[in-house]
Amino acid sequence: MKRHQNALGIMEGARNLRAIARSLVEAADEAAGEGIGAEQDAAVRMIVHRLGQLCRVDEINYGYDSVTLADVYCTLLKECRTRAKEHAAPPSPEVAETVILLRPLEQGERSEEAQALPARLPA
């Protein structure tokens, strides 16, 4: 039950987001290993709470930017969408995707693969 000890340490004021996130994954795995849903586990929930504090989640839900008076949630969402588009890899011209269109064969017609086979296979 290492996750409970970690959660207590994290709640004492840990500030390293990456380390806390790793602890969260470990705690969720440990809880699942005990047959407990991570969303119900006390340690997991406390670790998530600390992450929320560090990321000022309450500001996202209820706050407005003091300069623009814009809703913080909408501002963050817009920035994520913009940056996702900027960093989306354009399709590479060197990688061509082959598309094969199939059509039903007419009665008596053989496919190219079938034509390559001998007319009659030995029995």
pTM score: 0.64
CA distance 81 to 68: 19
Question: What are the tens digits of pLDDT across the range 91-101?
Answer: 666 655 555 55
Lowest mean pLDDT among 28-32, 52-56, 110-114: 110-114
Domain count, the chain: 2
48 and 3 inside one domain: yes
Q: Which domain holds residue 15?
A: 1-55
Residue 115 lies in a domain: no
38 and 11 inside one domain: yes
1 and 51 inside one domain: yes
51 and 82 inside one domain: no
Question: What are the tens digits of pLDDT across the range 40-69?
Answer: 999 999 999 999 999 998 888 778 877 778
